[in-house]
Each structure stands twice: as structure tokens, then as C-alpha cells.
Structure 1
Amino acid sequence: MGKYFTLILLLLLGSKYSLAQQNYIDHTIKKGESVYMISRRYGVSVNAIFNLNPGSENIIYAGRTLRVPKSDTTTTSSNNTVVNDITVSNYIVKRGETKSGLSRRFGVSIAMLEQQNPHIVSMLQAGHTINLDKTIQETQPKAKAGEHYVVKGETLWGISRIYGISLTQLESANADRLSEFLQIGQTLIIPDKNSAISTEGDYLVQRGDTKFQLAKRFNMTIAELEEKNPHIVTMLMAGHRLNIDNTVTSHPEEITDIKEDSITEIDSTSTSNTYKNYVIEPKETLFGLAKKAGMTIEELTTLNPKLLTSVNAGDIIKMPVGVSGTSTNKTPSTNTVDTTDTVKTDDIADSNNEDVTTRISSNKNEALFANLVTETSSGLYFYSPFSSQELSSPEERQKMIGVNADFQKYIDFFQGAQIAIDSAKTLNLNFDVTLIKKNIAKSKITIESPHSKNAILVPFSETSSNFPSIDSSAPISIIDIESNIITNDSINIYRSITSEAIQKTKTLNYLAKQNANIVVISDLDEARSKDLILTTNPEAKFLKVDNAGFFKSDALDNALNKNKLNYIVFDSEKTIVLLNTTTALMGKLSDHNIQLVMLESSLLPKQTEVSDMRFRILQLIYPAVTDPQNKNDITDFENKYEDIFSSKPSRHAILGFDVTFDTLLRISQSSSFEESINTTLSEQPHLKFEYQKTKDRNYLNTGIYLMQYNSNDGMIELNQ
């Protein structure tokens, strides 16, 4: 009897265990997804997913399966919200959510989202109710006469060029349906070429406008401007239509903002009558003010000690009588170490129009642009061998390069960074820029920042083990740009440039999922990446060629498999080896399915050395840190850089722009810097930023483009 009882008990426990084991959903990870995004979709905690999937707290890969625990019910709320694979019922839009974010969350296109919820076509607002039936077929709307249907890849600037109208005219005609970024599937009104952008007593806000500038332009205070236009109290946005009729003033007793043409000399108690009161305008800098005054920075700050702390729009300072000229970018600084107002060379021009790089980035970084905060300021710091005076003086820069030619890469970096700073200011982002000179901050950097979010960029540091400790009064993040910083401080380090190890690992992981025969060809006795290759592909075969790239008799035939796809991983830096190896491989294509693979983009030879026809025939797969398909955006950036600096941007200038602009977007979010890293991928004109946490306080950028040459002229990006 006891045996039967034991058997029954075991069966019951086994059944219960089996049911418990199946109490999860198998989710196939899509490109760009994170554990946080997946947890939000299924209504479970991140830790619950971590517990079911050991290792997922470090990294997850697109294409693999993730076990997601089933929640007790479908996603519900007090509003009877239901979200499942087929329907979405009574979902209430929350503040900060976007159409793009909702389309990804619910697994539908923006066009389908708008098709079934026409009340959100013109604008998505917090409190809107969303209902979806995913079984309903999506209909593709057709644009009527005088309208344009937005498709993937289009920009406002490009659409305006198609119809021969200005960008301002297009934005004005669609002010009620445009947010900060263009939506795929939107229908835009195409105005007549001769249409006006504003009417009497009416003004359409342009990108880059500020409340301070508009109040000054229309002869009213900011309070009066907001009283007439309550929709801008929280935030001023491009496309807002303003009532600027100032014939009736609600508070005549208020004093309007002081204008430059009404500035008078300082009072009689002054020690000199050669100075006058001067009101600092938005975007002016300490460097620019000193240049305008015809003084050195030291002379100007001696005259106006408060400028040592910060440069604030609206503050009144002493300036020589007769000072005139246009304003420059405002970037005040506060720090206990050597600082500068802007990392700006003497030949950088101000950007008054919509910045091309801002337009490029807004098309690719919807999530970041949707949650920008302009009301509060943040702090951006650069760790550099240059002081502000040395960086702003052509003579000083040349003198330092004469001592060490390697300093040129820092100058290039800061020139790229300056374009990023100018681009960020066209978005009305509020930030202060500070420069910390290396030889002043030898062992410790003390930062007294007034900002709640700060980041310090450290480019190309060669003494990583001696990086100073940081004592900061406010939260700060370290952005490592090829510096490999080591610090014991409790500060997060974000290594922003994807390493060759990550390029190799991601490429090998892709190969491992294809069930192919893998053959590694090297001119060394041991392939350089043999251990890594065997970790991900333990059945890989290794062939050695001689110094000219020739195989031993029958070695290649014996390694190839006629019944499977053959990935030939090329692991040599010698051009002659590549030429002879690819010639041999092309001779085997009639009997074998062969694709060439390189694990590092650095192994790709110049086109003058090897024709890419070989790569198209062998359908080469390789990892790229820079998107080779994004030629238009890259060309736009290069043209802008060349217009300003009269030279093509170097690789270091490219890093200066992409990393700086991405950092500025992230420290200007409504969420913390670390949260934006954990939840949001981004792409700038050249680089992809896909950070993964590796261990405490360290994040690696794992963003690469896995590219494959087509047999015809072109490339495709592979799903990793």
C-alpha cells in the first residue's frame, strides 16, 4: 500500500512541476528589444525574466528565445485595459508616450494605429483611449491632391524639396499635425508655393526660437507672451502658433526686457565712464563676450567677477562703450578645476537655421527626441590636454601640435563636438559646457555642479590607470571614448566605441545560428581568434595557407561541404593572401554554396587594392561600426563640417560629433541617464549606440551593423 501511495505522490508532484515549468511564454527577441521593453509588453517584472533566463541580465541577442513568465491575468488596469496578441482594449495613453512607441509595444504600424484610432491622427495626447483589433487588415491611404503620404525614410526637408516649397511653409501648413518628429503614414498638407507663414498678430514658432527671443522681438515680457499663449507655458515647440498682438497689455506696470539699444552707461559711482551696462543675450559665451569687448577673458572676468561662475542670459555686466555685434553661443560653466564656457575654435560659425545633423538624428531617434526636457539644465564636461585659451587660439593649437602631433586628434574631436553642441542648441536644450585640463586635475577632479544630470567625456586618454578620482556634488556619468578608463569611484562608465571583440562576437553568434559549415582561413599557425571561434562554433575547421595565400593540395576541397552553406572566415591582414584565397573560393562556387566572412571591419582592404566585385560574388559578411548604407546623412554631416572647417572630417571628428550629440540627448531626457541607456537604442549619422551592462558600473556599446554584400551592386543589413 505504501508503494502505491508513494507512486501517486510522485505523479502528483511531477504533474505540478510540469505545469509550473510551462507557466511561461517563449518570446523571440526582435532587433532593438531590451529586457525592460519585453517586461513592459507582457506586464511582468524585469527580475522575473532574469530569474527564468540566467545571463539575460548581462546581454540578450536578437533571434534567440526568451522565457517570459505569464502574469496572473492579461495586462489590465482599473480602466479595464486589456492587451494581448489579438486585441488592445481601452488602453489609456500616458504622458510621454508616442505613436512610434505604442506601435512597437502593440506590434502594429503607426498607419494601422491611426486607422483604428482616427482621433490620434493629428496629435497623440495623454488620456486618449486606444483600441485595436489586429485581425483587421491595414489599408494603405492614398494622398489626395494637395496632400502627401509620408513613407519610411522621408524627412520634412526632403518633402519640401520635392514640392519646391520652403521647410517653413511646410511646417506652417501642418502645424496642427506635426510633433517634434515626422511620422511614417502621416498625411501632410502641401501648401501653395506663395502661401504666407503667418498673419497679422500671429506667428508660427520656428525651430530654435526661444521665449526670451520672441518676447524681445515682439516687445513684450515672457510673462505677457505666456499669458497670451497658455499652450507654451510648459514648453515652447516648433509649429506652435502664437498670438503676438501687443496692442493691449494686461500688466502695463511691468517693465519690459531691457534691449541693447536702450543700454546706458553705468552710474556716477563707477570708477570709469568708459563702460556701460550690457544685458547678456541667450547663447552668448564667455569667449564670445571677451572677443566682443576686445579684452582677454581674464580682463573681462576681473571687470565682472560673476562671470567666473556662469554666463546667464539676462544678467547685466559691464562692457566697453561702443560694443556691438551679434551674439554667440551661451555655455556657462561651474567647476573647481580649469574650465571654459564652450569648446569652440575661432572659426566656428553660429548655426541660426535648422541644423542638418539635428534633422538627421531626429529621424532615427524618435524615443530620445520625444522625451527631451528643456526647462532644466544639465552639465557636460570634457577631459582634455587643452585649456580653453589653448583650444580657442589657432597659434596655441599649432604650438601644442608642434610639441606632440598626436594632439591633432583632440582638436578634430572638439571640432566635431562643437557641431554637436550647436545642433543641440537648435533643439533649445539647456546645458553648460566645461573643459577640465588634464595636467591641472592630476589625481582628483572636484566638480561642484548645480545640475541634477551631468556627464564627463574622456577622449583618447593614454593614461587610463591614472585617471583621476572624481568628487562630484551631483550625479555624473563617465563617457569613455577609446580611453579604457579604470576608476574605483562609484560612477558608471559608458564605453561608447564598439570594440573589435564585440564585432567578432556578434558576427560569430550570427554564424552559429545558421547551421552552416564554418572554415577559418589564416596565414598563421594559429588563427588569432581561434579560442573565441571555438567557443561559439565548436565544430569550426581551421586551414592554414602559405604567405602567398595558397592552400595545400586538396585541403580546401576536404574542408568544404557540398550539402551545407559554407562560411569561409578570412583571418589575415595580407592583401595578397586575400586575393589568392578569394580566387580559389570563386573557383569552387559551381559545386559549393560559399560565403566569405570577416570578423573585423579593419580587415577590409581599400578599394584601390581589391575590387569589391570579389566581395559581391562571394557575398561577403562583415561587421561595421559605421552604417555603410547611411550615405545621405553622412554626406550631409561631411558637407556641414567642410563648410565650417574647410576640410573633411577625420575619424576623430566623427566620434566628437556622434558621441557628444548622443550624450547631450541622453542627459536632456525626462528619465535618468542610466535609464535612457537601459531602455533606448540610438543611431547618430555614423554610429549606433546599444549599451549593455557587463558588470557593476560598466557599460559597453555593442552597436554594430552586420552587413552583407549583394551579388548585384549594393548591401543589405542582416538581423543579428
Structure 2
Amino acid sequence: MRILKVLFLVLFFSSCIANTVKQDPYLRHTIEKGETVYSISKKYNVTPFDIYRLNPDAKEGIKENTTLLIPKAISTASTSTNDDGAAEVTTHKVAKKETLYSLAKQYSVSVADLKEWNPDVEKNGLKIGQDLIVSKVYKPTSGVNTVEVQEVKNTSSVSTHVVKTGETLYSLSRKYNITVDELKALNPQIEDAINIGDVLKIKQQSQIQVVNNLENNFYAVKPNETLFSLTKQFNVTEEELVRLNPDLKLGVREGMLLKLPTNLVIKDSLASTKPKANLLATIDYNTKKELVLLLPFNLAKMEADSTKTSKDFIKTSKFLNLTLDFYSGALVAIDSAKTLGLPVNVKIIDVESSPKSSNIAQIISRNDFSGVDAVIGPFYNSHAESAAQYLSKYNTPVISPLSKELSKPISNLYNAVPSQLQLNEALMQYLYAKEGNIVAVISQKKNASKEYLQKNHALVKFPTADEKGAFTIDAIRTQLVKGKKNFVILDSEKAGQVMNITSSLMKLKEEFDIQLVVFEIYDTLDYEEIKMQNLIELKLLFPSVTKEAKTIEELVAVKKMVTANKLNPNYYVVKGFDVTFDTLLRICQSENFEETSQKFSTDGVENGFNYVNENGTWVNKAIYIQFYDTDYTVKTAE
């Protein structure tokens, strides 16, 4: 079974790394020196879009002697040029049962792109037989007939991006993790569209201005600013701003004059976050690297127990099964690295580990870690801290792969899993960005949640419970606001209370715009008498450390592998793959792990990695805000 599991994982994850393509009818072209996607497209009488659709990695650049898939023909799409000559468009005649989602996947664009190119769809919906624009390629405006536009490679020091074929304001905002409004603010020369070859400013360096002891220190609120953006800009808490400006309880309005604290440090609110990087495109193949995995198999303990066989240990030990699952995913990552030719040696060392003890000190003293580029493990937070402290003399990065505990501030220790506090904060930041009315329904036994909100989020409202601790529909109604999104945070350990509150919210939904919110998907929500339909209708919103599979190829691959092997990669298997593969890619760069962590965030199969140093502790801030959608799927909120 274990061999089948590993074989299944190799096949599954290979499908996530390799390009997933149809069998026919395609040609295969071996790239020669000096060729570009544009020149190849002309050679085969296809568009660059057709090549990018079949070879997504080509968007990051093409390499000599690698192979591209070339379509022999385009089936249902036709290409034409706008009357103004400004853009080449590809159209598709809508067939029965086709949706914006299926067409977006078919043509490797986003649903937002389709809506932008076809404004009538937003109003009237998709119609059978409709000619839908599925690609819009802007021609260069310089007058040159044949131009291949190359993207500027972005690092934290690069502040511009050259627009290439098929890119939109929306796709760039997703790529660089900023909003469309921020992009427009940074580039006032653009309006609602961009052209190929445009040079856009992506990152504005943070400017700091110190305001010294002003007696009348006021600030006029600008368009699109929120309470959250103001707290970040002025480096103050919500509580302090509300204390100085009680009217903020009614919401932030453009033109409001806000009183600010003295000795204020004002930061530029448009400073962008780290760009997401494709580290596969920047591998340093000339320098050999070394990775060590410290995994708690506890083999010595297994061998010492004569009463149990290895099979018995595997059957009865949850911790060993967790380790084996993580190990299975890590093996797939290592095999993938080997297939890709990454110049890295990997060493796996068994750690004798329990919650209170380990042999980390002996392992590090008996092995030479002076040339190791990164260490993954151990699993327990305290043991990972010990490993980092022992290896701090080499400044070796130690990645704690599974613990949700926030570690001590150790300069070379990286927490790969966001803590619950970070999840809570990410969720609250999202709610503030949406400028909604926030109401928290917290049961009596969830004091920690209520104290957290009262201490850190002064604008949250709390309905009053009756003498039995119950929340009536009228008590909740008094805290809701019409004409505004009402986010209702629910935290209760009582299934009956959750059932009653969700039923009340369904009734109130006829009067108010309501979305249900939780800090985590807890067991009480699975209680059989709590209607799943209510959670879906209320679009249950929650923070998560993992994202759902999005592409058609991923979903098809999962379905095929599950059917063939009767196995499904669980949380720990995928975590093993994502943490290991991300670490392998980071150490195989010209810069070391710490430098790539400072500059780039990355996306794995399910897990993202955005390491940020907060008060001496490296934390992973790649968090996904997700919700139950009405089509019974979990989606990532925009």
C-alpha cells in the first residue's frame, strides 16, 4: 500500500508540475538559438496566445533545446483585428453547456478577463451562439511591425513591469498582490486599459515622514481609504484612532478630518508587498546545494519494542503515519527536483522525537552541517527551535514544517505554517478592506475570541445575550446595517446555538446583506442538524493555510488518481511536497534562502510561502480567505 501511495503521488504531483496537454492534434517544436515565441508563432502560422495556452511556462521565457507544443489548427476560435487596429482579438462561438469558467480554462485566461473583454456578459449572461472575445492581444504602439516584448524580471529592487501579450490590469494586480486601484494610483497615465509594451510602476518605495508634536494634527481622508489602510499608514491601532475620532464608529468617509496622535510616523500606504516568483525560471545550475530533512520516524524505538512488528507500529501510531505521509510528499518533491536537474543533494536523518524529548543535539554533533544550505524539521516546535539554535553558528535556515505554534525569535528559524493569530488577523484585514459592518456573536465559553476582538478591533459590535447566554434574532438585528455588507463572526462550541443563529441569519438575510464568518472550520459546524444549505447561502467565510485546486487539469488528475489507486493525498502529504519543493527551489538560486525569503513569495500546489520577519521571528503570511459558494465549491475570496 505504501508503494502504491508513493507511486500515486509521483504521478499526481508530476501532473501539477508538468504541462497538462491533450494528446492530439499538436506539433512539437524544438527551440533553436535566437528563437522567440513570436518568431515561432509566425513560422507555424499561429498566434503567441496559442503557444502560451499549450505551454504556460513559456510566459516566463523559453530556453534553447526545449520542446514546445504547437497547435495544428484552432477549432472553434477565429482571429481578427479591431477596426482601430489597436488589438488583435480571438473569438469563440459559445456552445451548449459552456460557461465563463470552462472557457477561461480552455483559453488560459481569467473569468475577469472575459468579463472585461465582453461587458454585455455581465448584464445579459452567456448566450448560445454568441461570439465571445477570448483573447485580446494589443499591438505595440511604436510603429514597429514585429516586436517581441520581454518582461522585466522583478526583484524587491525592481519597480517596473513591461506589459506583455494577454496581460490585464486585473491579472497584474493578482500577480503582484496589489489592487487594481493601487496600480492605477501608481500609474496615473493609464485609464481602464493597458497596451502591450507599456511600462508600469509596480512598487513605490516606502516614504517615511515624521510629524513632530503638532497641536492641531489632522488628516483629510482620501478616496478609497479604509480604517485598516489608515492604521497601517499612520502606524496606530484602530482603538486609538476611534478614541480620537468617535465618528469613525459610523464608518470612514472621504473628506473626513481625522485627529491623529502626535509624534506620528506616516508611511506611504501604496508600498506594495513582495511579488510572487517562479523560482524554476531562475535556478542556479552551477552551484551544488545540500538539503537535510530531520524526520521523526523513531526507528530505534520501533526496533527496541519486541512486542510489535513494523506493521503494528504503522497501524497503531498516528504520529508515525503523519511522518510517513509527510515523507511521501517530500519524496515526490525530491524526485521532481531530480527530474528537473536541480543541483542538490538531499540527506534524510531519522530523529528520535516525542513531545518532551529528542536527540537533536546528538544528531547535529555527529554530522557535519557546515555546508548544509537548509534543514527541514523536526516537527515539534520546541525541537525545531533547538535545531535552529544549534545551527545558528552556520546561519543555516531551519524550516519548521508543521507546527502551528509561533516560535521564539531565532534568526534562522522559519515557521512554514501560519499561527491561528495570523489567520485571525488576515481575516480581519480582509473584512476591513471590504468596509463592511462587523458583528461578532461569541458564546460565553469563547472568552479568548471575544477578548481578542475587544482588545485589537474596536469597531466590532457585540449583540447582547439573554440571561441564558442565547442570542435572539432581535438582538442580532439591532447591530446590523442596511445598505452595507454585514459580516457576522460566529464562534460557539454549542451545535444548538450555531443552528439557531444560522437560522436567524437566514431570516435576517431577507432584510440585510449578510455573510457568515468563522475564524476556523471547527467540528461543531459539521453537526448533522446544522443545515449545510444555510452555510452555503450565507457564503461561510474563513481563513485557511491552504487553497483549493483550481485548474481543470488538477481536478481531472486528482479524480483519475483517486479512481486508479483508491488513495487521496491528505494535508500532510501535500504539505510534505510543498514545503520540500519550495525549499529546494529557494536554495537553488544565486541568492540564499534568507535573501529569497526577503524578496519573493511563492505558490505551491495547496500551500503558499510568504516569509516575513516580525520582531525577529520568521512567519509565513501566505493565507487564503475562502468561502462556501452557491455551486457547493470552496472558492478563494477576491
TM-score (norm 2): 0.52
Residue 458 of structure 1 deviates from its aligned partner by: 2.3
1: distance between equivalents of 2:28 and 2:634? 33
Q: Name the SS for the 2:377 alignment partner.
A: strand
Distance 1:365 1:512, change over 3 A: closer
2: distance between equivalents of 1:620 and 1:434? 43
1: distance between equivalents of 2:409 and 2:431? 39
Residues 1:384 and 2:295 are matched in the alignment: yes
Residues 1:374 and 2:294 are matched in the alignment: no
Distance 1:162 1:493, change over 3 A: farther
Aligned 8 A contact 1:458 1:480 in 2: yes
Amino acid of the residue matched to residue 482 of structure 2? K
The root-mean-square deviation of aligned C-alpha atoms, in Å, is 4.6
Report Cα offsets for 1:415-469 as digits up to 9, x if no partner. Answer: 1111111111111012112223324744854542574733333224675676585
Report Cα offsets for 1:471-498 as digits up to 9, x if no partner. Answer: 5885421000234789999751110012
Equivalent residue in structure 1 for 2:330, among 417, 431, 437: 417
Aligned 8 A contact 2:549 2:605 in 1: no
Equivalent residue in structure 2 for 1:564, among 470, 484, 491: 484
Aligned 8 A contact 1:519 1:540 in 2: yes
Match of 1:583 in 2: 503
Match of 2:258 in 1: none
Equivalent residue in structure 2 for 1:186, among 27, 38, 48: 48
Aligned 8 A contact 2:291 2:372 in 1: no
Q: Name the SS for the 1:416 alignment partner.
A: helix
Report Cα offsets for 1:83-115 as digits up to 9, x if no partner. Answer: xxxxxxxxxxxxxxxxxxxxxxxxxxxxxxxxx
How many residues align? The count is: 391
Distance 1:612 1:675, change over 3 A: farther
Match of 1:599 in 2: 519
Residue 521 of structure 1 deviates from its aligned partner by: 1.0
Aligned 8 A contact 1:478 1:491 in 2: no
Structure-to-structure mapping, 1:397-408, within 5 angstroms: 397-398=310-311, 400-401=313-314, 404-408=317-321
Residue 669 of structure 1 deviates from its aligned partner by: 1.2
Amino acid of the residue matched to residue 590 of structure 2? S
Residue 407 of structure 1 deviates from its aligned partner by: 1.4
2: distance between equivalents of 1:494 and 1:506? 19
Distance 1:488 1:667, change over 3 A: same
Aligned 8 A contact 2:361 2:390 in 1: no
Match of 1:531 in 2: 451
Residues 1:704 and 2:566 are matched in the alignment: no
TM-score (norm 1): 0.46
Structure-to-structure mapping, 1:305-704, within 5 angstroms: 366-386=277-297, 397-398=310-311, 400-401=313-314, 404-439=317-352, 441-442=361-362, 444-445=364-365, 447-449=367-369, 451=371, 453-460=373-380, 469-471=389-391, 474-483=394-403, 491-524=411-444, 527-543=447-463, 551-552=471-472, 554-602=474-522, 605-606=525-526, 610-630=530-550, 632=552, 635=555, 638=558, 647-696=567-616, 698-704=617-623
Residues 1:718 and 2:634 are matched in the alignment: no
Aligned 8 A contact 1:682 1:689 in 2: yes
Q: Name the SS for the 1:613 alignment partner.
A: helix
Residue 599 of structure 1 deviates from its aligned partner by: 1.8
Amino acid of the residue matched to residue 349 of structure 2? I
Structure-to-structure mapping, 1:212-251, within 5 angstroms: none
1: distance between equivalents of 2:524 and 2:629? 16
2: distance between equivalents of 1:513 and 1:482? 30
Amino acid of the residue matched to residue 283 of structure 2? L
Of the two, which has the highest radius of gyration? Answer: 1
1: distance between equivalents of 2:561 and 2:342? 21
Q: Name the SS for the 1:622 alignment partner.
A: strand
Aligned 8 A contact 2:395 2:412 in 1: no
Aligned 8 A contact 1:390 1:397 in 2: no
Match of 1:125 in 2: none
Distance 1:544 1:488, change over 3 A: closer
Q: Name the SS for the 1:685 alignment partner.
A: coil
Q: Name the SS for the 1:538 alignment partner.
A: coil
Residue 564 of structure 1 deviates from its aligned partner by: 3.4
Aligned 8 A contact 1:444 1:469 in 2: no
2: distance between equivalents of 1:489 and 1:562? 45
Q: Name the SS for the 1:541 alignment partner.
A: coil
Distance 1:370 1:402, change over 3 A: closer
Q: Name the SS for the 2:378 alignment partner.
A: strand
2: distance between equivalents of 1:538 and 1:714? 33
Q: Name the SS for the 1:482 alignment partner.
A: coil
Aligned 8 A contact 2:351 2:378 in 1: no
Aligned 8 A contact 1:464 1:485 in 2: no
Amino acid of the residue matched to residue 333 of structure 2? A
Q: Name the SS for the 1:507 alignment partner.
A: helix
Distance 1:468 1:374, change over 3 A: closer
Distance 1:445 1:604, change over 3 A: farther
Q: Name the SS for the 1:669 alignment partner.
A: coil
1: distance between equivalents of 2:554 and 2:464? 39
Gaps of 5+ in 2: 1-15, 41-46, 53-63, 70-274, 353-359
Q: Name the SS for the 1:663 alignment partner.
A: helix
1: distance between equivalents of 2:503 and 2:65? 66
Between 422-431 and 456-465, the greater mean CA deviation after superposition: 456-465
Report Cα offsets for 1:364-415 as digits up to 9, x if no partner. Answer: 97531111122222111111233789999xx974354467442111111101
2: distance between equivalents of 1:459 and 1:404? 15
Residue 666 of structure 1 deviates from its aligned partner by: 0.8
Amino acid of the residue matched to residue 691 of structure 1? Y
Aligned 8 A contact 2:37 2:48 in 1: no
Residue 623 of structure 1 deviates from its aligned partner by: 1.2
Instruction: Quote the sequence identity (%).
Output: 25
Distance 1:642 1:604, change over 3 A: same
Aligned 8 A contact 1:446 1:472 in 2: no
2: distance between equivalents of 1:423 and 1:481? 19
Aligned 8 A contact 1:637 1:685 in 2: no
2: distance between equivalents of 1:565 and 1:489? 39
Distance 1:604 1:463, change over 3 A: same
2: distance between equivalents of 1:417 and 1:155? 14
Residue 534 of structure 1 deviates from its aligned partner by: 2.7
Aligned 8 A contact 1:480 1:496 in 2: yes
Distance 1:644 1:497, change over 3 A: farther
Distance 1:600 1:561, change over 3 A: same
Distance 1:637 1:375, change over 3 A: farther
Aligned 8 A contact 1:391 1:411 in 2: no
